Structure 1
């Protein structure tokens, strides 16, 4: 079963897990969650006993500064704590990742990839995919694009499933984010196969990239 809430509330997850353990039925399921430390060892163990096989969650840009700007409500340390608890409980994890967020620099991207590499190497993450930032018409970013330095070029017509607006970043020429996509996706694909987990993350990119600045002991 897939519980389709976009971010299953931890309190409700605990109640459902306890009910499934006590009363059944015996099922296997997965859910979408917010990667926050409330998913601790106890809650994750309860979820696993109740039949949870996997969870998915947004690590997004993998950097606290941009996570704050998008009002995500999670931190990279909190996400790592949750991923550790899921892994130790035997629950597999998939992370939604994001590149091209307004203001995201090559340094921020390489640091995010370094964090992702370490999470895979620790066995706390089993699957991930890098998505390109999109400006959708129902988002806070679309309502206040100037706060992110965006200029909306054209709003889509109000037709079904047509909700992505074209935009440009003020002060940027061309599309510097596009060159990062092949390296990011190649890295994630290989990490899922257990390949390249000890390699320097800069090796996935053509051209120069800055050295990662993630603290040596992260995650603690």
Structure 2
């Protein structure tokens, strides 16, 4: 009896774990967990098509409504999978993604009238130029995919004769070139757009961005 009990105690015990599953319609990406992506092994991504997601608060709201957050592709494979998804669904670029110029850095650039050579220290692309909602995605890859000097895009305009000029800077990251595939694969596919979205009316004064889809990410169920 004692021998049988000892034999039972030495038998290996199988441990069953549930495979991670993404919600319907979400792409499932396997990742290498690191300190830069909050040790994330599995991540779910979906592109949602809604008008005026160039407005950063609305883009965020779309993701929140789907129990997700703004996200970005962590590597080339994820970018290509997202591109295939948007081509299949006929979504037009650009697509809102995570990443926004920090307010402190934006203020510095505006004070220097867009001279990117005069701003040093934390406000460069390798340090703290951008702020991200998503702590589960390493932004290192996407930050190498800008085709232009960053930040880029902005200007000044008169709002009224008696008022100071409006100076503005494009500060919200978008994903571009998702229509390319095969031998046309893009080398640069990150850009910046105005964070305020479309003009509220035909008579509105100021910049606008025409973005009608957003990339959202979340943990598996």
Structure having greater relative contact order (Cα 8 Å, sep ≥ 6): 2
TM-score, structure 1 length as denominator? 0.26
TM-score, structure 2 length as denominator? 0.26
Point out the structure with the larger helix share: 1
The structure number with the bigger radius of gyration is 2
